[in-house]
């Protein structure tokens, strides 16, 4: 999970965008899919739907990753704006990001991302 995952773009296997709110509303009615629905939030299983989250890369292409669960927290933590590569992202302070640290990888919270750090995906943090 090398990228902050707050700006979620979902597509189906044909690459068509999926409207997340409508999808959650529909899946919520299938109770066997609901892994958690409580005071903390909602977690829904969607591993069998063939949906992918898209992560934009520096080159302008998108990296697709299969999504197994989608969660909607009833409370999120403070938001930050971070420029990573060519993009400016809104991420929560507690989003976990994997960065390169010499020859190893290390996880940091988004609030601890500093200009000059390089993500596992090769993208640089600018501000």
Q: Which of residues 14 and 39 has its CB atom nearest to other proteins in the complex?
A: 39
Nearest residue (CB) to other proteins, 35 versus 88: 35
Task: Please give the residues from 23 up to 42 whose contact with other proteins meets the rule CB under 8 A.
Answer: 32-36, 38-41
**Interacting residue with other proteins among 14, 29, 75, 116 (CB under 8 A):** 75
Q: DSSP letter string over 66-119?
A: E-SEEEEESS---EEEEEETTEEEEEETT-EEEEEETTEEEEEEGGG--TT-BB
Is there binding between residue 120 and other proteins (CB under 8 A)? no
Residues 6+ apart with CB under 8 A from 35: 43, 44, 45, 69
Selected binder of other proteins within 92, 118, 120, 126 (CB under 8 A): 92
Nearer to other proteins, 34 or 80 (CB): 34
Distance, in Å, from the CA atom of 77 to the CA atom of 96, rounded to the nearest integer, reads 13
Q: How many Cβ atoms are within 10 Å of 87's Cβ, its own excluded? A: 16
Residues that bind other proteins (CB under 8 A): 1, 32-36, 38-41, 43, 45, 47-48, 68-69, 71, 73-77, 92, 94, 96, 107-109, 112
């Amino acid at each position: 999970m090398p990228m902050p995952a707050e700006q979620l773009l979902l597509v189906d296997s044909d690459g068509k965008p999926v409207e997340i709110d409508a999808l959650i509303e529909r899946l919520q009615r299938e109770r066997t899919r609901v892994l958690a629905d409580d005071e903390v939030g909602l977690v829904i299983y969607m591993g069998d739907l063939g949906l992918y989250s898209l992560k934009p890369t520096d080159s302008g292409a998108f990296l697709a990753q299969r999504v197994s669960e989608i969660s909607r927290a009833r409370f999120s933590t403070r938001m930050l704006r971070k420029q990573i590569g060519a993009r400016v992202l809104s991420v929560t302070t507690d989003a976990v990001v994997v960065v390169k640290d010499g020859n190893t990888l290390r996880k940091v919270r988004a609030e601890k991302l500093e200009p000059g750090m390089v993500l596992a995906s090769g993208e640089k943090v600018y501000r």
